[in-house]
Amino acid sequence: MSTDSTTAVATGDPSSVHRGAPAGEPLLAATDLVAGYLPGVDILSGCNLVVHPGELVGIIGPNGAGKSTLLKALFGLVTIRSGTVTLKGEDITNNAADALVRRGVGFVPQNNNVFPSLSIEENLQMGLYQAPKKWAERFEFIVDLFPTLGERRGQRAGSLSGGERQMVAMARALMMNPSVLLLDEPSAGLSPVRQDETFIRTRKINRAGVSIVIVEQNARRCLQICDRAYVLDQGRNAYSGPGRQLMNDPKVIELYLGTLATDVETATTKPDLLPGSSTPPTP
Amino acid sequence: MDWTRILTNVAGEIIAPTTAAYALAAIGLNIHFGLTGLLNMGQAGFMLLGAYGFAISTIAGWPLWAAVLVAIACSAIFALLLGIPTLKLRGDYLAIVTIAAAEIVRLVGRSTALTDLTGASSGLRGNSYKDTFQDASPFADGTFALGPFEYSTNSSNSWWIRIVAWAVVGLACWLVWLLMRSPWGRVLKGIREDEDAVRSLGKNVYAYRMQSLVLGGVIGAIAGIIYVLPRAVQPDSMGRPMTFFVWTVLLLGGAATVFGPVLGSIIFWASLMLIKSVMRDGVPESIMRTEQIEQFGWVVVGVTLMLLVIFRPQGILGDKKELAINVR
Amino acid sequence: SDDGGGSDETDASADASPLIIGTLLPQTGTLAYLGPPEIAGVELAVQEINEAGGVLGADVEVENADSSDADHAEVATQSVTDLLSKDVQVIIGAASSSVTLNVVDDITGAEVVQISPANTATSLSGYSPFYFRTAPPDTVQGAALANLITGDGHSNIGILVFNDDYGTSLRDVVKATVEEAGATVTYGNAGEEFDPAASSFSGDVTALLATSPDAIVILAFEQTKLIIPELIAAGVDPTTLYLVDGNTADYSADFEPGTLEGAQGTIPGAFPSTEFQAKLKELNPDLTDYAYAPESYDATILAALAAVKGGGTDGPTIQENLASVSGADGGTEVSTFADGVAALEAGDDIHYVGQAGTGSFNEDNDPSSASIGVYKFDASNKPVFVKGQEGEVPES
Amino acid sequence: MDRSPTAHRVLLATLFALLALAGAVLPVGAAQAAEQVCVADASTGCINGTIKTAAGAPAVGIVLTVAGSDGEHIATTGADGRWSVAVTAAGEYTVSLDETTLPAGETLRDPSKNPRTVTAEVGNTTGALFPLGAPTAAPAPSDGATSADGTTGADAAVGTPTGSESGGGVSWLRVGQQATSGLIFGILLALASVGLSLIYGTTGLSNFAHGEQVTLGGILAYVGCQTLGLPLLVSGIIAVAIAAASGWFQDAVLWHPLRRRRVGTTQQMIVTIGLSMALQYSYQYFFGGGALRIVTENPTMLSLGQIRVTLHSLISVIIAVLVLAGVAYFLLKTRIGRATRAVSDNPALAAASGINVEGVIRMVWTLGAGLAGLGGVLMGLYLNATSWNMGGALLLLMFAAVTLGGLGAAFGALVGSLVIGLVVEMSSLVIPSDMRYAGALLILILVLLLRPQGILGRAERIG
Amino acid sequence: MSADSHPIPTPTPFATTSTGKDRVLADLALVAHEPGVRKPDPIVVADSVTRHFGGMTAVDVDHIEIQRGAITALIGPNGAGKTTLFNLLTGFDHPSTGTWTFEGKSLSGVAAAKVARSGMVRTFQLTKALSRMTVIENMRLGATHQPGESLFTALIPPLWRAREKEITVQAEELLERFKLGAMRDEFAGSLSGGQRKLLEMARALMSKPTMVMLDEPMAGVNPALTQSLLGHIIALRETGTTVLFVEHDMHMVRHISDWVIVMAEGRIVAEGPPEEVMANQAVVDAYLGAHHDTDLGDDSLLADEVMEQLEAEALEEKR
Ligand SMILES: Nc1ncnc2c1ncn2[C@@H]1O[C@H](COP(=O)(O)OP(=O)(O)OP(=O)(O)O)[C@@H](O)[C@H]1O
Ligand SMILES: Nc1ncnc2c1ncn2[C@@H]1O[C@H](COP(=O)(O)OP(=O)(O)OP(=O)(O)O)[C@@H](O)[C@H]1O
Ligand SMILES: [Mg+2]
Ligand SMILES: [Mg+2]
C-alpha cells in the first residue's frame, strides 16, 4: 500500500493541493440563491457557490441540506426564486437544461439517473443527443472506461444493478465531453474499487481542464480529491475552504464527516486537530 | 329569463336523486382511486349490475331487502371476477380491463340473447320494479311541497327516494371518513403510492386491493339502484359516458377527500342545469336554432369542466400540496 | 317561438291558461339528426294553430328541451324537470323508446300528457293513461314491408337490423310475415343484429351476403348511409334493397346518382306530403330529412284539438279528449286544426286525419291503424311515392 | 393481382347476371304484364307472388288457384314469374299451385306448404310464395343446381360472388373476407392508436379527446370535398395538415401550461374528457348529428382472388402502411424518435441530456394528432362516412389496442390494433354481431391475463 | 486504530459492551472460513438457488447459511447478484431453481408479503418512499399487529386506537434516532435521497423483525449520521434481531459485521470474519482494490499505470 505517497501529500501545505485558480473571473457562480419545490418553502436560502476554470469543487453536508437542490437549481431543473447564476459571466439563471447542455454543462443526477426502458447503448446515445456525429468516437472512449457497458450495450438499463446504473449515469454525462460537470453522488452504490476509480477518474477529467462540482456523501474521499469544498447545511453555506483544510476541521468532522473512516488518515494528519487521535493506527 | 324558476331548478338538482346516485358512485370510485389508486374506468358496469340485480330480482317477486342483497352480491361477484386476475397488473391495465368489462356487461345486457331477463336494448320498465321500494315508504301517497320544491311523496322521482338516497350518501361518507382515518385506509394509501414497498412491510396488497375493489363496487351497485329508481333500467344509459361523469364528479370535488364526491356531484349537475337552462332561455332563436343551443350548452359544459380542473387541479376540496409532490 | 303576441281575446277567453307544449326531442347525442325535423313538425303545427286563433283564444307556446340519447340519460331527466317547471301540459317526445322509459314515470306522474312521435317499443303499449304515441305501429309497417318483399317474389330475405327496439321489433314483424308467406329469413334472425354504436359494417355485410339472400332489408337509422355503399360495392343490386321509415330519405347528396335506383322503402303517412315538406323547409331551411316530422305535427295538433274539445288546457283534460279527437268515437273527418275547431264548435265529434296517416288511438293509446306509403328511389336517390297501403293494428 | 384475368371473368359474369336480374325485377318488365297486375285500393286487396326456378330465372306459366270467401281466382305467372289476383273481401284465402305446370325438373322446395293459407286485407297486398328447388332447409341454392343451369354463382342471390359457397354457415371465403376487412380496419385503427400511444408514452396522459382528433380529420376531409369541392387528395392533405397543426396548438395553449404547473396526469385526463365533450358537441353544432359522406361516389370493388376489397381501402392501406413505416423509422432510427422514449422514461434526465423536452412533447402532439387526422380521413373513407362521434366510438378500441400492445410501446399499438381489427371483424363468425366489441374486449382481458405487460411490453424489475 | 474501540459521538449505550456480540463471536469462532460453510444456529438456509436472466446467471448459490442473531455483511462487486439474491429470498422475484428455509420453515415460492409477515423484512436499494404520505404515516405503516388494518375493525376506532398510540410513540423514537424528527409531517416524496434511505430503514425496523435485510442502507447517507446509526444496528443484535446487509462502505462492514459473505458473479466466493475476508488477496484484488486505503489526493495516482491497474481490477471484478 502506498502509504508513503499519502503522507507526502497530506502533510504538505494545504494550499499546495489547491490547483485551481481561486482568483480572477469565476467560470460558474451562484449568488444568494433562493430556490425550492413547494410554494412558500425555500430549500436553498441564500446559497453561494463559485467555480473557477479548471477547479474541482466539492459539496458535502448532511442529508436534506439542499446539495442536490443546489445542483438542480444551477442546472435549471428547480426554479430559482431569487439570486443569480452566471456561466462565464453570462446570466444563466433559470435557463432550460437543454440550453445549458449546449453550452457545455453536464449533469449526473442523484436519483433516477438512467432511462430504464432504453438499452445501455441508447442511454449513451441520449447523452450525445446534441452531437450525434461524434458517436463512434465517444462510444469508444466510454467503452474504454467502462468495459462492462460495452459488453452489455443491449441490456435495458431498468434491469441493471444499482452499481451498474451508476456507471451508465456517469458514462451518459461524459458522452458530451462537457466543460463543466455537475456530479451528484457519483460513487453511491459502487463497489470500493469502482469508487476509487470514479474519484481518480474525476480528478483526471478535471486535470484535462474540465471544471467539476461534485456532491458526495463519501465525504472524506471527496475532500481528498477536490481543490475547494463547501459544506452546506439547511440551504446555506456552513463552511468553505480547501478540501484538506475542511477534512481536518474538528467542527466539520464532528458534524459532517464522522470518525468511522478516520483510521486511514489518523496516522498522518495533525494529531492535535483530531479527537481520538491518540488511538493507534490500524495494522 | 325567469331567474326564480331557473334557480329553483338548479337548487332542485342539489337534492335530486341523480345527484345522490352520482355522489354515491363517486364515493365508491373514491375508495378505488382516491384511497387505493385503482384506476377503475368501469364504475358504470358496477352500477348497471346493481341495477339489473335489483330490478330483475324484484320483478321475480323478491322482497326489497333481498333485491338489494342480490344487487350487492352481483357487484361483489363482479368485483371478485375482475379482481382475481387483474389486481396483480399495473394500474393502467386495470383501467382498460375495467372499462372493457363494463362494456361487456352492457353489451351482454342489451343483446337480444337475454331479452327475457334484461329486456335487451329497451331495458326494464321502471314501473315493473319500483313498487317494492315505493311501498316501503312510510308516507301517504300524494305530493308534498317544501318551499319551492314540490315532488310526489312516493312515486318515482319522489321525496322518499330523495330521503333514502341522501341518507345512504351520508352513511357512505361516514364510512369513508372512518376508513380513511383508520390504519386500513393507511395501507390502501400506501398501496396507491408503491405496492412493492407495502408488500415488503408484510401487507397482503392483493387482499387489500380486493377489499377496496369490492367495497367500492358494492357502493357503486347501490348507486346504480338509486339511479334507476326514478327512471328505468337502460343498459345504454349506464355506459362509458356515465363512468366519465363519475370520474369528473370525483376529481371535481377532490379525490381522497370525504366530501369531495358529494360536492363534485352537486356542482356538476347543478351547473349542468344552470348552463342549459340559461342557454335555453337566454339565447334567442334568432342567433341559434334550438338544437344548436343544446349543443352549445354541452360545449360550455365541456369548457367549464376543463377550466375547473385547470384552475383547481386538486379538486375543490383536494390538497394542493399533495399534488405538488412529483411522483413521475 | 310564439311571435303572435298577446291577442286581444285572451282576457275574454275561458279560465284556462295558454296551452304550453314542451318538446323532449333529441337535439344532441347519437340521435341528434332525428331532432330537427321533429321540432320543425311541432313548430309548424303550432304556427298553424296560432294562425287559426290559438287554443281557447290564447296562442300556444312551445318550450324546447333536449332529450339527448340513452347514453346521456340524465339530460332527459333534467330537461323534464325544466319543462315541468315551465308548467307545460303536453310533452312531445321522446324519440328513443329508451329515453321515454327513463322519464315516462316522471311526466305521467305529474299528470302531463306525453305523446311520442317515434316510440315503437311494444313494452310502452298502455304504459300509462297519460302516455300516447303517434308513431306507426311496427305491426302495420312491418307487415306492409314484408308483403312488398314477398310480393316482389323474394323468398330468401336477409335483414340488416340494429339491436335497438326500433330495429328488433320491426324485424320480428317482418320475419313473421315473410315466413308466413313462405319465405325464409336467411340473415338477421335473433342474435344476428348489429350494435347501433358499431362503426364498421363490412363484417355484417359479408355475413349477410354469405347467406345468399335475394332481397335485403335495412332496419336502421343513420347507419344506413354507411351500409349502402358497402352493399353496393359488394355487388348488391339496389332493386333488391328495402328500407323503412327510419331510413327512407333523400340521399341525393350522399350517393352518386343511380346508386339506389329501384330500391324501395315504406314510410307511414298519407301522400303527397311534398307540400308539407316544403312548409317544414320554410321553418328550418337546413332540413334534409323529414323522418317523424308528420308524427310530431300530428301529436301537436291532436293535443291542441283535445284541449279545445275539453275546454281546458290542463293535462287531465287533454288526456281525456285525445282519443276522441283522434277519431276513436268516430265523427267528422278533419285534416287541419282550423277545420277541427270549426267542427268542434259546431258540436260534432271529430276524427283528425293527420299527416302521418295513423288512425285513432286504441285502448293502449297506440294508433289503431296506419297507412303506409311505398316509395321507390329514382335515379337521383330520392324516394318517390308509388302507392299507399292501409293496415289495422291487431288487438293485443 | 396476377390472377386478375380470372377475377375479371368472375366480375363480368356477375355483371351479366345482375343485368339479367335487374331486367326481371325492374318496372320495365312490369309493363308487359300490366293487365295482370293487381293494385290494391279501397275496395280490393291483392294476393301475389313471384316464382323463380331454383336457378333464379322467372318460372313462366305456372298456374295457381286462390280460393276464399269471394270465390275462386286463377292466376298464371307471367314472363317475370309474377302472378297476382285481386280479391274483394278480407279473410283467409287458400292458394294452391298446380305442380304439373312447373317447368321440367323443378320441384317445390317445401311440398307440404302447397296449398298454403294467407290472410288478405282490402287495400293491402299479401304475398304467397312457393320457392322452388331441392327440398332441403338450406336457404341458398346448392352448387349443383347452379352449375346444372349453366349460370354463375350470382344467380338468385343479389349478385355476390360469395354465393357459390354453401351459404349461411362459415365458409373459408367468408373467413378470408372478414379477415381482410379486419386487417384493413386494424391498420387504419393503428394510425389513430399509434398517436394515442405516443402521447401516452411520452407524457403519461390518457387522452380521451384523441377520438375527436380522429373525427377532426374525417370532418375536415368532408369539408374539403363536399363544402369546398376540392379533390379528395387535396382535401385529405389539408385535413391532415390542419389536424397536425391542431395538435401543436393544443399542446402550446393547453398541455404545456398544465405540465408546467405540475398538474397530475389524472387531472389532465379529466381535462381531456372536458375537451372531448366540447369538441364533440362543437362538431355537432356545425355539422349536425348525421353521417357525413366524404365522397359520394360508390367504392370501386377489386377482387384479389376471391376476396373483395374496395379500391379506396386498398389505397388507404397502402398509405397507412407507408406512413406507419415512416413513423417506425422515425421512432427507431432518428434521434428525435429515440428522444421520445427517453422523455417518456424520465423527462428531467432527458433535459439533463440536452433534449429539449418540451420540444419533443410538442412534436409528439403534432405527430400524434396528424396521425389521428390521417386515420380519420382514411377511416371516414373506409367506413363510407364520418360523423361527429366517429372517433369517440372508436376510442375504446384504440385504448384496447394500445393496452394490448403494451402501454406506451408505439409498435405495440400497431400490433394491438391489428389484433383488435381482426377480432372485431372476425368474431361475428362465432358470436352474435352485436356482441363483437364485447368479444374484442374479452380477448383483450384474456391476453392481459397471459401477458400482463401486453404483447410487446416488457416486465419491470423490482428492487 | 481499532474501529470498535473508537468513541462514538452520539450516546449509544450498547455500542461497546456487547453481550450479543460476544455470544455471536463465540458461536462463529469454530466455523470454518470457507464459502457455503454450515453455521451452528442458522436462521436462513438456502440450497442451490439460481436465477437466470436470458443467457446470464445472476445468482448461482450452492449453499448459504445466515447465523441467527449475527450481523452478516454481504459484499461483492457491482452486478454480483446481491440484490437479486435479496429479491429471491424475500419473494420479490422467482428463482430458476432452489429452495430455502427461514427459521426452519420453507419460504420458497411464498409471496413477498407473507415472507415479511413471517419476520423477514427487507429494504430496497433504490428507495421506495410512499411519496404522498407523510413521514410518520410511512412509519406507522411499517408496524405490525395493528388490528385496525382489517376492514371491519377499522370501522370501530376504540379497537385500534391504543395500538396506534404505541405505534406512534415507537415511530417517533425511531425518527428521532434517524434524524428525521423534523420531517415528521412532511410528505415522504419531498425527502432528499439520503433521507429516503433513512426512512426506508426506519420503516423496516417498525415491525421489529426477526431478521432485517438492508440493501446498501448507508449509500448516500451522511457519514456522521451513518456512524450514529451503526449504534442502532448493533443494538438490534442485542435484542436478538438478525441483520443481513449489503454495503460497499468497508468502514461500516468492518465496524459492525460479525461475519462477511462475499459474492461474485452470482456465487459465494468467500466467507469469514471481516478482518480476515478483507485481508483475503482475492477479495482485495477483485473488490476492494489496491487503493481502498489510499489518500486519493495523491497526484501519483493520476499516472496512467494506476488507471490501467484500476481498469484491470475492474475487469477482474467483472470476470
Ligand atoms: N421533489 C421535492 N419536492 C419537495 N421537496 C423536496 C423535493 N426534493 C427535496 N425536497 C426538500 O429539499 C430538501 C433538500 O433536498 P436535497 O435533495 O437537496 O438534499 P441533499 O442535500 O441532496 O440530501 P442528500 O444528501 O440526502 O441527497 C429535503 O429535505 C426536502 O425537504
Ligand atoms: N430483470 C433483469 N433482467 C436482466 N438482467 C438482470 C435483471 N435483474 C438483474 N439483472 C442482472 O443481474 C446481475 C445482478 O444484479 P444485482 O442487482 O443482483 O447486482 P448487485 O449485486 O445488487 O449489484 P450492485 O452492488 O451494483 O447493486 C446484474 O448484472 C444485472 O444486470
Ligand atoms: Mg442529494
Ligand atoms: Mg444491488
Cβ atoms < 10 Å from Cβ of E239: 10
Q: How far apart, in Å, are the Cα atoms of E237 and each of D66, D96, E20, E273?
A: 108, 105, 6, 16
Residue ranges making up the domain that contains A68: 9-273
Sign for the CA dihedral angle at E100, E103, E106, E108 comes to negative
Q: What separation in Å is there between the alpha carbon of A164 and the centre of ligand 2? A: 8
Q: What separation in Å is there between the alpha carbon of A160 and the centre of ligand 4? A: 9
Q: What average pLDDT does chain C have?
A: 86
Question: Which percentage of chain A shows pLDDT scores above 70?
Answer: 83
Query: What's the rounded mean pLDDT across residues C123-152?
Result: 87
In this complex, is the C-beta atom of D463 within 8 Å of any C-beta atom belonging to chain E? yes
- Contact partners of C by the rule of 3+ C-beta pairs under 8 A? B, D
Size of interface D-E (CB pairs under 8 A): 12
Res E12: pLDDT: 38
Distance CA E147, CA E145 (A): 6
Pocket of ligand 2 (CB under 6 A): A 159-164, 189; D 461; E 53, 58, 76, 78-84, 125
Q: Which residue of B has its CA nearest to E206?
A: B201
C-beta separation of C237 from D18 below 8 A: yes
Q: What is the radius of gyration, based on Cα positions, of chain D? A: 29
CATH match of E3-128+207-318 with 1.10.10.10: no
Distance CA A258, CA A261 (A): 7
Residue A106 in domain: yes
SS3 for B109? helix
Distance CA D182, CA D427 (A): 10
Chain E residues whose CB is inside 8 A of the D463 CB are 83, 86-87, 92-93, 124-126, 215
Residue C19 DSSP code: P
Q: What separation in Å is there between the alpha carbon of A69 and the centre of ligand 1? A: 6
Over 90: is that where the pLDDT of D405 sits?
A: no
Cell of C334: 278533419
Query: Do the chains contact at D433 and C192, CB–CB below 8 Å?
Result: yes
Residue D142 DSSP code: P
Chain D residues whose CB is inside 8 A of the C376 CB are 27
Over 70: is that where the pLDDT of D312 sits?
A: yes
Cell of A108: 449526473
Of E247, E276, E212, nearest to E32 (Cα)? E276
Over 90: is that where the pLDDT of C385 sits?
A: no
Over 50: is that where the pLDDT of D57 sits?
A: yes
Query: Do the chains contact at B237 and C72, CB–CB below 8 Å?
Result: yes
Chain D residues whose CB is inside 8 A of the A173 CB are 352
pLDDT digits (tens, 9 = 90+) for C351-384: 998 888 888 898 889 888 888 888 899 999 988 8
- Contact partners of B by the rule of 3+ C-beta pairs under 8 A? A, C, D, E
Distance CA D346, CA D351 (A): 9
Q: Which residue of A has its CA nearest to B323?
A: A38
In this complex, is the C-beta atom of E40 within 8 Å of any C-beta atom belonging to chain B? no
Res D430: pLDDT: 80
Cβ atoms < 10 Å from Cβ of C19: 28
Q: Which neighbouring-strand residues pair with A215?
A: A59, A184
In this complex, is the C-beta atom of E192 within 8 Å of any C-beta atom belonging to chain B? no
In this complex, is the C-beta atom of B97 within 8 Å of any C-beta atom belonging to chain D? yes
DSSP C232-245: HHTT--GGGEEE-T
D133 versus C197: which is more confidently predicted? C197
Q: Which residues 233-252 in chain A show a CB within 8 A of chain E?
A: 243-244
Q: Which residues 93-132 in chain A show a CB within 8 A of chain E?
A: 110-111
Question: Which percentage of chain C shows pLDDT scores above 90?
Answer: 39
Phi, psi (deg, nearest 5) at residue C391: -145, 140
Query: What's the rounded mean pLDDT across residues C261-278?
Result: 81
Chain A residues whose CB is inside 8 A of the E280 CB are none
Query: Do the chains contact at D353 and A158, CB–CB below 8 Å?
Result: no
Chain B residues whose CB is inside 8 A of the C164 CB are 121
Query: Into which CATH architecture does domain D40-165 fall?
Result: Sandwich (2.60)
Query: Do the chains contact at D159 and C202, CB–CB below 8 Å?
Result: no
**Residue D114 carries which side chain, given as an amino acid letter?**
N
Cβ atoms < 10 Å from Cβ of E203: 29
**Which atom of ligand 1 is found nearest the CA of A38?**
4
pLDDT digits (tens, 9 = 90+) for D281-292: 999 999 988 889
Question: Which residues of chain B register pLDDT less than 50?
Answer: 327-328
* D433 confidence band (pLDDT: 50, 70, 90): confident
Distance CA E37, CA A155 (A): 34
Cell of C79: 330537461
Ligand index nearest the alpha carbon of residue E266: 2
Of C205, C243, C240, nearest to C374 (Cα)? C243
Distance CA D82, CA D60 (A): 8
The label of the residue with cell 469544498 reads A229
Dihedral of the CA atoms E111, E112, E114, E118 (nearest 10)? 130
Q: What separation in Å is there between the alpha carbon of A122 and the centre of ligand 4? A: 22
Around ion ligand 3, residues with a beta carbon closer than 5 Å are A 68, 110; E 192-193
Residues of chain D with CATH 1.10.3470: 6-32+171-450
Res D153: pLDDT: 35
SS3 for A231? strand
Which of C135-149, D143-157, D218-232 is the most confident on average?
D218-232
Per-10-residue mean pLDDT, chain E, length 319: 40 49 81 86 92 89 91 91 92 91 90 91 88 92 90 91 93 90 89 86 91 90 83 85 90 88 91 88 81 70 70 62
Chain A residues whose CB is inside 8 A of the D355 CB are 98, 126, 129
Distance CA E153, CA D26 (A): 80
Res B315: pLDDT: 81
Res D458: pLDDT: 65
Res E190: pLDDT: 84
Res D160: pLDDT: 40
C-beta separation of A11 from A271 below 8 A: no
Closest-CA distance, E259 to chain D, in angstroms, reads 24
Residue C80 DSSP code: H
Strand order in the sheet with E97-102: E56-67, E42-53, E97-102, E105-106
The label of the residue with cell 466539492 reads A58
* D279 confidence band (pLDDT: 50, 70, 90): very high
Interface test with B, best of E125, E128, E140, E190 (most B CBs within 10 A): E128
Residues of chain E with CATH 3.40.50.300: 3-128+207-318
Q: What share of chain E is helix, strand, coil (3-state, %, to 5)?
A: 40, 20, 40
Kindly tell me the burial class for residue D1, based on how many C-beta atoms sit within 10 Å of its own C-beta (0-12, 13-18, 19 or more): exposed
Question: Which percentage of chain D shows pLDDT scores above 90?
Answer: 24
C-beta separation of E197 from E220 below 8 A: yes
Distance CA C250, CA C259 (A): 12
Chain D residues whose CB is inside 8 A of the A115 CB are 341-342, 345-346, 349-350
Distance CA C172, CA C145 (A): 12
In this complex, is the C-beta atom of B116 within 8 Å of any C-beta atom belonging to chain E? no
Of D443, B115, D141, D440, nearest to C203 (Cα)? D440
Kindly tell me the burial class for residue D253, based on how many C-beta atoms sit within 10 Å of its own C-beta (0-12, 13-18, 19 or more): exposed
Residue D101 DSSP code: G
Distance CA D125, CA C250 (A): 26
Of C64, C121, C196, the CB nearest to B290: C64
pLDDT digits (tens, 9 = 90+) for A168-195: 988 888 888 888 899 998 888 888 888 8
Q: What is the ipTM of this complex?
A: 0.84
Res E317: pLDDT: 58
- CA angle E230-E236-E242, nearest 5°? 110
Query: Do the chains contact at B251 and D396, CB–CB below 8 Å?
Result: no
Residue A246 in domain: yes
Distance CA D380, CA C199 (A): 10
In this complex, is the C-beta atom of B192 within 8 Å of any C-beta atom belonging to chain E? yes
CATH of the domain at A156: 3.40.50.300
C-beta separation of C82 from C57 below 8 A: no
Pocket of ligand 1 (CB under 6 A): A 37-38, 43, 61, 63-69, 110, 217; B 326; E 190-195, 220
In this complex, is the C-beta atom of E269 within 8 Å of any C-beta atom belonging to chain A? no
Phi, psi (deg, nearest 5) at residue D116: -120, 155
Res A236: pLDDT: 83
Q: Which H helix or E strand runs over D153?
A: none
Of B42, B83, B38, nearest to B255 (Cα)? B38
Q: What separation in Å is there between the alpha carbon of B324 and the centre of ligand 1? A: 14
Q: How far apart, in Å, are the Cα atoms of D187 and each of D193, D319, D325, D398?
A: 10, 10, 12, 11
C-beta separation of B50 from B224 below 8 A: yes
Cβ atoms < 10 Å from Cβ of E13: 9
Q: Which residue of A has its CA nearest to E246?
A: A189
Chain D residues whose CB is inside 8 A of the E86 CB are 463
Query: Do the chains contact at B183 and E149, CB–CB below 8 Å?
Result: yes
Q: Which residue of B has its CA nearest to E134?
A: B322
Res D11: pLDDT: 46
SS3 for D254? helix
Kindly tell me the burial class for residue C50, based on how many C-beta atoms sit within 10 Å of its own C-beta (0-12, 13-18, 19 or more): buried
Q: Whose CA is nearest to atom 17 of ligand 2?
A: A161
- What's the CATH code, domain D6-32+171-450? 1.10.3470
Question: Which residues of chain A register pLDDT less than 50?
Answer: 1-21, 263-283
- Give strand ranges (E) for E76-223: 97-102, 105-106, 120-122, 211-215
